[in-house]
Structure 1
């Protein structure tokens, strides 16, 4: 692991210290790492949504589609594997 030093105004440092105390983080570094991970997740989701929004429309799905998808996941789980993206 590498180290990064950041400078914060006193008000932000106090806020971080309070979050560490009240939310169960061991250190301010744990808190900051969690914030960065959440931001990464948010950006991944945003990119997926933008990709989906710009893709060509597909046929509407119905209850049978979701039933088949559920069955595919169940049968794959019973076989001990990971579901494929082909459902």
Structure 2
């Protein structure tokens, strides 16, 4: 993966936070902190998109049917 230099303006609060992560040894540089945050944001976006897809599939599957928990458990664990 090629790395491009990009300038990012951070508020004092975010810059201090990023520097504290570097000072703690958790990250090697402020750039590493920003890359990690962006990676996590991208992962979150993918999870949200997947959840939206699942909700849509659920809505399209029709109305809910009655569910008998005791019958379900008896079928799954007949000797219990």
Question: Common fold, TM-score beyond 0.5?
Answer: yes
- Deviating runs (4+, > 6 A) in structure 1? none
SS of 1:54's equivalent in the other structure is helix
Query: Displacement, 1:23?
Result: 5.1
Report the counterpart of residue 47 of structure 1 in structure 2.
49
Kindly tell me the number of residue pairs found equivalent between the two proteins: 62
Q: Give the TM-score, by structure 1 length.
A: 0.59
Report the counterpart of residue 3 of structure 1 in structure 2.
5
Match of 2:24 among 2, 22, 25: 22
Q: Give the TM-score, by structure 2 length.
A: 0.64
User: Structure 1 residues 23 and 35, CA, compared in 2 at 3 Å: closer, same or farther?
Assistant: farther
Where structure 1 has 5 or more consecutive residues not aligned to the other structure, the ranges are: 63-87
Where structure 2 has 5 or more consecutive residues not aligned to the other structure, the ranges are: 73-80
Q: Distance in 2 between matches of 1:31 and 1:3?
A: 14
Matched, 1:32 2:17: no
RMSD: 2.5
Greater Rg, structure 1 or structure 2?
2
SS of 2:24's equivalent in the other structure is helix
Q: Distance in 2 between matches of 1:47 and 1:11?
A: 30
